[in-house]
């Protein structure tokens, strides 16, 4: 699943080709196709932004397009008439402006709504601080981690909760925990505020590096069975979480115990 830095780079790639240009054509397809997509025709694109793991496109008529790519979605940009790299049947949303065609393929979430409704949007309004936003509120993210309902939750699961902080995915979570020498299975309530703040800051820094360079550090992620670059112990992997189990990679030598204690 794309993480916040990937969405930031996607938005940065689309922005120069869309912003300030009127929409010449728009169409939607696939299951749950966006209704009344013709409402954006003639409107000018005013912004293309990432919000956590969401990509939003704003129009000057007050409408907003939100996409969430999940595991398989992606945005492409083409020249008019250029051959698409994926079959047209997989296009969920197509936006044409002068000189460019932006196509969203395979995204399970594509919706068009009034910008004024964003504060009431069931997903966007519930997001925690966006770690790629300017002046992100680290203290607010820690406060959300400290919610009583999360005290017994393993920190590896809590960091993926977009209601706590927006943008972190599984790779960034694993790398931040390794850099902080913290086990993914440590309960949130067992960690002090300084450690929680450091984890949030590490997540922010990794995402910013990824947004700027397209690269993230990989010390443990997808490195199970190899030596830890810090202490030499063998990196392990186990699945974590019940609703949507994710792969947790950690070093038992310098991060501590795994799921069995």
Spatial CA neighbour of 255 closest among 157, 175, 146: 175
Q: Give the active site residues.
A: 2-3, 53, 246
pLDDT digits (tens, 9 = 90+) for 84-107: 999 999 999 999 999 999 999 999
The two tokens of residue 95 are 């936006």
Q: What is the pLDDT of residue 32?
A: 66
Q: Assess contact for 67 and 2: CB atoms under 8 A.
A: no
Q: Is the pLDDT of residue 154 over 70?
A: yes
pLDDT digits (tens, 9 = 90+) for 190-238: 999 999 999 999 999 999 999 999 999 999 999 999 999 999 999 999 9
- Chain center to CA of 41: 28
For residues 117-139, average pLDDT? 94
Domains of the chain: 4-126 (3.20.190.10), 138-250 (1.10.8.50)
CA–CA gap between residue 171 and residue 161 (Å, rounded): 14
Q: What is the pLDDT of residue 261?
A: 57
DSSP-derived secondary structure for 204-219: HHHHHHHHHHS----S
Whole-prediction pTM: 0.93
What's the mean pLDDT when you consider all of the chain? 95
Q: What is the pLDDT of residue 257?
A: 83
DSSP-derived secondary structure for 152-184: TSBHHHHTT-TTTSBS--HHHHHHHHHHTT--T
Spatial CA neighbour of 93 closest among 77, 114, 115, 82: 77
Q: What is the pLDDT of residue 31?
A: 67
Q: Is the pLDDT of residue 166 over 80?
A: yes
Q: Which pLDDT band, with edges at 50, 70 and 90, does 64 fall under?
A: very high
For residues 41-61, average pLDDT? 97
Q: What is the largest CA-CA distance in the chain?
A: 60
Q: Is the pLDDT of residue 55 over 90?
A: yes
């Amino acid at each position: 699943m794309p993480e916040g830095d990937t969405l930031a780079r996607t938005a940065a790639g689309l922005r120069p080709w869309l912003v300030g240009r009127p929409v010449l054509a728009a169409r939607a397809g696939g299951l749950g196709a966006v209704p009344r997509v013709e409402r954006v025709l003639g409107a000018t694109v005013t912004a293309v932004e990432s919000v956590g793991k969401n990509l939003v496109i704003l129009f000057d008529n007050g409408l907003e397009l939100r996409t969430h790519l999940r595991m398989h979605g992606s945005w492409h940009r083409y020249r008019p008439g250029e051959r698409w790299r994926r079959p047209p049947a997989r296009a969920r949303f197509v936006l044409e402006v002068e000189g460019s065609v932006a196509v969203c393929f395979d995204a399970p979430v594509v919706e068009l709504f009034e910008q004024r409704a964003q504060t009431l949007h069931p997903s966007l309004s519930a997001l925690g601080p966006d770690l790629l936003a300017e002046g992100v509120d680290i203290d607010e993210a820690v406060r959300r981690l400290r919610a009583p309902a999360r005290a017994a939750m393993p920190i590896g699961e809590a960091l993926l909760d977009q209601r706590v902080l927006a943008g972190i995915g599984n790779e960034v979570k694993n790398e931040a925990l390794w850099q902080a020498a913290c086990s993914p299975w440590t309960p949130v309530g067992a960690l002090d505020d300084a450690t929680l703040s450091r984890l949030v800051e590490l997540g922010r820094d990794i995402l910013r590096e990824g947004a700027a360079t397209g690269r993230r550090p990989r010390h443990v992620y997808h490195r199970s069975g190899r030596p830890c670059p810090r202490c030499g112990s063998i990196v392990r992997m186990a699945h974590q979480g019940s609703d949507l189990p994710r792969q947790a990679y950690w070093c038992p030598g310098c991060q501590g115990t795994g799921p069995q204690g």
